[in-house]
Amino acid sequence: MSSQPSHPTLLIPGPIEFDDAVLQSMSHFSESHVGPGFVATFGETLSMLRKLFQTTSSSSQPFVISGSGTLGWDLVGANLVEAGENALVLSTGYFGDNFGDCLKVYGANVDILKSTVGSRPQLPEIEQALKSKKYKIITVTHVDTSTGVLSELKSLSETVQRVSPDTLLIVDGVCSVAGEEIDFDAWKLDGVITASQKAIGCPAGLSISMFSGRAMEALEARKSPPASYFASMKNWRPIMQNYEAKKSSYFATPSPQLVHALHTALSQILTKPLSERFAKHAEVSDKIKKAVTDLGLKQVASDPADQAHLMTAIYLPESVKGTDLLPKLANSGVIFAGGIHKEIATKYIRFGHMGVSVTDPARTDISKAIDALKGGLSACGYQTS
Amino acid sequence: MSSQPSHPTLLIPGPIEFDDAVLQSMSHFSESHVGPGFVATFGETLSMLRKLFQTTSSSSQPFVISGSGTLGWDLVGANLVEAGENALVLSTGYFGDNFGDCLKVYGANVDILKSTVGSRPQLPEIEQALKSKKYKIITVTHVDTSTGVLSELKSLSETVQRVSPDTLLIVDGVCSVAGEEIDFDAWKLDGVITASQKAIGCPAGLSISMFSGRAMEALEARKSPPASYFASMKNWRPIMQNYEAKKSSYFATPSPQLVHALHTALSQILTKPLSERFAKHAEVSDKIKKAVTDLGLKQVASDPADQAHLMTAIYLPESVKGTDLLPKLANSGVIFAGGIHKEIATKYIRFGHMGVSVTDPARTDISKAIDALKGGLSACGYQTS
């Protein structure tokens, strides 16, 4: 039984429901950010991130910085691409488009490759784009939270390696890390940025990322200094290295309570093989997708191969408005999210299924949510069977 | 009695000791960042910040963004000064110097006005500098955490108004807000940036700031777009306005738990007149300064009028090393900070005295710290009387 007060179950694509121990870590008594106790906690947290991202290369560099997931885009834009350099952005929704906007702020020449809502750019067109000019970086949104479209990383990486091996491959894993498989070394990724509040299961407030040795070399080889102060990897990298070596160090004050919560969340995740965690998320997702299909509903991500395992973006029946359905779900104790992709915002809803709601056998969040969805649609006058 | 587990009392110049209710708010169950419950909490928090900064002008704009206090410098550098414009930075230590470094990253032409360690630039030289060229902004560190030097804002503002009224006056109040008097409207300030973990008494992880209508006009009048994405006030301003109007809105995910803790901390602070809070911090500071003087020790801030009321930077006796003394204090249950100003780093220690350690009559933190300091110095061989 959770020790948390009774509350509606939060099943949006992040923030998600929290384990009690993670939430209790948020109330950790005050510690110095440069004292040995917290330095050890932060150092262990960074080392655990290497395991989460499946990287054993000593040149890989984890970062944990106070901020939203969005700050990860600035880390990429201000450090790994310089004004006038080319960036190829693969977009599968709102978040891909905005990643591109962020890169433009830092002066990158951004080409956005996108397809119709619910699908994703295909390898032949990506290959063609990569051959058309020299790109410093290519970015891909692993799961675009606005559409639930899952991008394929392994074959994308093989294409980049073959066609444009100097291009850095950067993954927005905000809505995928700790739920979808990511094999940082084997897939030769150069950067994965994420946030604390999605499948990692920690409260929001931390930008979490992993960059390759190659990305760190690109940082050092910059002709101009990083284009941000707070988001400068040159400012943060020695701090992260010191914390991981259990040495105190200061650039800007981290959040000890959030780092404690992240430490607890990662410790829990790493008690089991990651493969088991990914499989569990896939199994529960399949069950949800089947229920959605059985209800006669379509997903925004049209091809089953492109459907994320951590969330489901569901088109509403024509007769049902999200503004009618979502409050009914809330009355049943389940919070879903509305649409966010501007082309279809009012036509769909989003159901997040990650973290303890999926992995904790004591919780019945998912079946409760499916029942609530059925009941809510019915109450909106939609015949569900 | 605190419900927190027994731990050494943290008396560094931030983070500080927390009230139980604030820490409990950190464990708030998960809520949607765009749901009505959290939107109301965030909106009330922004409105309470107006009271904390003593601004009733509807054109003043509060911001609460996930990040460290340092992010506030980027807010100023990326939004209120454009590449090639002039910035005058008044420096009284490490943090003033680094604020200047941050502004340079965004292309400002930075002139730093500083004096010897422990003192501060005086009005005649500031006036002379302001007359020498057109400055878009002037920045001042209200309390430089590296030296404990307090800058005077009221007469500085009068000078700026008289000599260079178009120049925006920006205050780094990271180590002053909620402890030192700041009268935003009356003193015609254009920006005050701070952080959650100092005198406000909330865990670290939030950049908190207030900007004037004039600063917002300067933002809108920019010739170039803001030079950051995550730190773009143009991206955040409508979000803050929506939250305060209790409307849901999204740019990047805020940290509901930290915002709940900030809400609790501000609610507590605002139960009493701010003047009482400032007076209490001054009274306790006077007591600490007297004890330090009675021990035969000097402060880094040489002129009593320039000594902060929220911290004391204390020169060590020549015979005592900080690396010997600080562990002895820790053994007595009190955590002080070492030096951070590079010119004198090994020669002094820092004692933070703000928040509940000062205001909660049930706590004996300050007298325990003074006793520990006496005992520690004595154990290091220093004759204290």
Confidence of residue B1 (pLDDT cuts 50, 70, 90): low
Contacts of B33 in chain A (CB under 8 A): 15, 204
Q: How far apart (Å, rounded) are the C-alpha atoms in residues A280 and B224?
A: 48
Asked if the Cβ–Cβ distance from B253 to A197 is below 8 Å, we say yes
3-class DSSP state for residue A218? helix
Contact (Cβ atoms closer than 8 angstroms) between residue A369 and residue A351: yes
Contact (Cβ atoms closer than 8 angstroms) between residue A147 and residue A313: yes
HEC string of B187-198?
CCCCEEEEECCC
pLDDT in tens, chain A (385 residues): 578 999 999 999 999 999 999 999 999 999 999 999 999 999 999 999 999 999 999 999 999 999 999 999 999 999 999 999 999 999 999 999 999 999 999 999 999 999 899 999 999 999 999 999 999 999 999 999 999 999 999 999 999 999 999 999 999 999 999 999 999 999 999 999 999 999 999 999 999 999 999 999 999 999 999 999 999 999 999 999 999 999 999 999 999 999 999 999 999 999 999 999 999 999 999 999 999 999 999 999 999 999 999 999 999 999 999 999 999 999 999 999 999 999 999 999 999 999 999 999 999 999 999 999 999 999 999 987 6
Which residues contact residue A318 at a Cβ distance below 8 angstroms, ignoring those fewer than 6 apart?
Answer: none
Q: How far apart (Å, rounded) are the C-alpha atoms in residues A337 and A350?
A: 5
Return the exposure string of B107-141: e unless at least 16 CB atoms fall within 10 Å of the residue's CB, then b.
Answer: bbbbbbbbeebbbbbeeeebbebbeeeebbbbbbb
How far does the CA of residue B195 sit from the closest CA of chain A (Å)? 9
Phi, psi of B90, rounded to the nearest 5 degrees: -90, 120
Q: How far apart (Å, rounded) are the C-alpha atoms in residues A205 and B358?
A: 28
ipTM of the complex model: 0.98
Model pTM score: 0.98
Asked if the Cβ–Cβ distance from B252 to A74 is below 8 Å, we say no
pLDDT at A229: 98
Asked if the Cβ–Cβ distance from B105 to A227 is below 8 Å, we say yes
End-to-end CA distance of chain B: 34
B257 closest CB neighbour out of A17, A203, A227: A203
Closest residue of chain A to B27, computed from CA coordinates: A23
Closest residue of chain B to A326, computed from CA coordinates: B35
Contact (Cβ atoms closer than 8 angstroms) between residue A160 and residue A138: yes
Indicate the pairing of strand A191-195 with strand A206-211: antiparallel
- Write the DSSP assignment of A94-149 as a string of letters: HHHHHHHHHHHHTT-EEEEEE-STT----HHHHHHHHHHS--SEEEEESEETTTTE
pLDDT at B385: 62
Peptide bond into A15 cis (omega under 30): yes
pLDDT at B258: 98
Which residues contact residue A103 at a Cβ distance below 8 angstroms, ignoring those fewer than 6 apart?
Answer: A73, A76, A77, A81, A87, A89, A110, A139
- Write the DSSP assignment of B254-289 as a string of letters: --HHHHHHHHHHHHHHTTS-HHHHHHHHHHHHHHHH
Contact B73/A at CB under 8 A: yes
Contact A230/B at CB under 8 A: yes
Contact (Cβ atoms closer than 8 angstroms) between residue B248 and residue B242: yes
A30 closest CB neighbour out of B16, B74, B102: B16
The reply to whether A350 sits in an annotated binding site is: yes
Contacts of B35 in chain A (CB under 8 A): 335
Radius of gyration of chain A (CA): 21
Q: To the nearest whole percent, how much of chain B has pLDDT over 90?
A: 98
Closest residue of chain A to B230, computed from CA coordinates: A71
Asked if the Cβ–Cβ distance from B10 to A32 is below 8 Å, we say yes
Contact B215/A at CB under 8 A: no
- Angle at the Cα of B155 (from B149 to B160), degrees rounded to 5? 105
Q: How far apart (Å, rounded) are the C-alpha atoms in residues A87 and A103?
A: 8
Q: How far apart (Å, rounded) are the C-alpha atoms in residues A146 and A10?
A: 17
Residue B180, pLDDT above cutoff 90? yes
- In this structure, the number of other CB atoms found within 10 A of the CB of residue B344 comes to 18
Contact B24/A at CB under 8 A: yes
pLDDT at A2: 74
